Amino acid sequence: MTIYNIPVTCIADTRDKLGEGCLWDAMGGFLWWLDIIVPSRIHRLHVETGALRTWHFNEMIGAMAKRRDGTLLVGAHRGLNIFDPTTGAMTHWTTLEPHRPFNRGNDGACDAKGRFWFGTMMNNVGESGADLPITDATGALFRIDAHGAATEVASGIGVSNGPCWSPDNRIFYFSDSRAQAIWAYDFDLEAGALSNRRILNDSKDYGYPDGATIDADGCIWSARWEGSCVLRIDPKGRIDRVVPIPAKRPTNVCFGGARLDTLYVTSARLHVPEEELARNPLQGGVFCFNPHVRGFEKPGFAG
């Protein structure tokens, strides 16, 4: 394991309460990400020019995926929405978990077939962003097909996070932040089926595993909530690199840039102690660094 004290740059000081959901759009040269806490926000940054646009909404949102028509699939508090950046309209598409009214949506990503994998959790955000206790593992993981049909593929999850796939699509990785564990599953791409769940990494030394992505070598980059760092974890679960981030709560990561050789990191500043904000005032912004490895653009949604 190596501590990589490499240059980390804040490219957008958006002061997000709970930044998340970052993805790269190579077609437009945009970095997209969101701020979960209501009034929630979707941000779009043109990386080359620095032009930033932000849209505001009255529902918590947690994850996004591109669609072929230029709109975005948005995982939200109660289900899935469609966001049209040309009009700014957010339209409800399908509801998840009406039988679990105390849950909310959290992280999600598309597989190579364009199915959206979206996890839920017990809602931990109250009025004006107040913390609510997570008292049970009521979360689930859903697979949503192009027509909106949702299949529950896993349950008993505390805080759903970090869905991503090995480069050959044979392994699916998924985190339960509450359990401080990253799991690996055997993955059948054609069927969209999971099997043989096992612990990949359950280190307690670097905070909690949050959002994640895969690099070209098959290693996982894991944002570490409360850990002030991003970890690179190899396919055997060993911590390979630790990259310190000037934010106590890194939340998600994605590869981007023209060569997919920049790692972008979202972060949160909600409830971060004042003394910590004084040390690292850019918390809640988006950071980036050169990971010395290339990654992948996240697949879009098939619908």
Q: Would residue 301 count as lying in a domain? A: no
In a domain, 218, yes or no: yes
Residue 51: its pLDDT value, please? 98
- The SS3 assignment for 31 reads strand
State the pLDDT at residue 251. 98
Q: How confident is the model over 185-238, as pLDDT tens digits?
A: 999 999 999 999 999 999 999 999 999 999 999 999 999 999 999 999 999 999
Domain count, the chain: 1
Q: Give pLDDT tens digits for 11-57.
A: 999 999 999 999 999 999 999 999 999 999 999 999 999 999 999 99
Question: Residue 4's pLDDT is what?
Answer: 82
Give a yes or no: residue 225 inside a domain: yes
In sequence order, the 6+-apart residues with CB closer than 8 A to the CB of 70 are 84, 85, 86
Does the annotation mark 107 as catalytic? no
- Residue 283, pLDDT score: 98
Structural domain including 264 reads: 2-289
Cα angle for residues 202, 100, 145 (degrees, 5° grid): 75
Classify residue 125: in a domain, yes or no: yes
Q: Return the exposure string of 36-63: e unless at least 16 CB atoms fall within 10 Å of the residue's CB, then b.
A: bbbebbbbbbebeeeeeeeeebebbbbb
Q: What residues contact 74, with CB distance under 8 A and at least 6 apart?
A: 34, 42, 61, 63, 64, 80, 81, 82, 83, 90
The residue from 35, 210, 215, 240 that is catalytic is: 210
* 177 belongs to a structural domain: yes
**How high does pLDDT run on average in the chain?**
97
Output the pLDDT for position 133. 94
How far apart are alpha carbons 196 and 193 in whole angstroms?
Answer: 11
Say if pTM beats, i.e. exceeds, 0.95.
yes
pLDDT at 94 over 80: yes
Q: What is the pLDDT of residues 46-89, one digit of tens each?
A: 999 999 999 999 999 999 999 999 999 999 999 999 999 999 99
The per-residue pLDDT for range 126-144, each reduced to its tens digit, is 887 889 999 999 999 999 9
pLDDT at position 2: 85
Q: Is residue 294 part of a domain?
A: no
Q: Which pLDDT does position 129 carry in this prediction? A: 85
- 302 within a domain of the structure (yes/no): no
Strand pairing of 2-3 and 239-244?
A: parallel
Q: What is the pLDDT of residue 176?
A: 98
Per the domain annotation, does 258 fall within a domain? yes
Assess whether pLDDT exceeds 90 at residue 149: yes
CATH code of the domain covering residue 264? 2.120.10.30
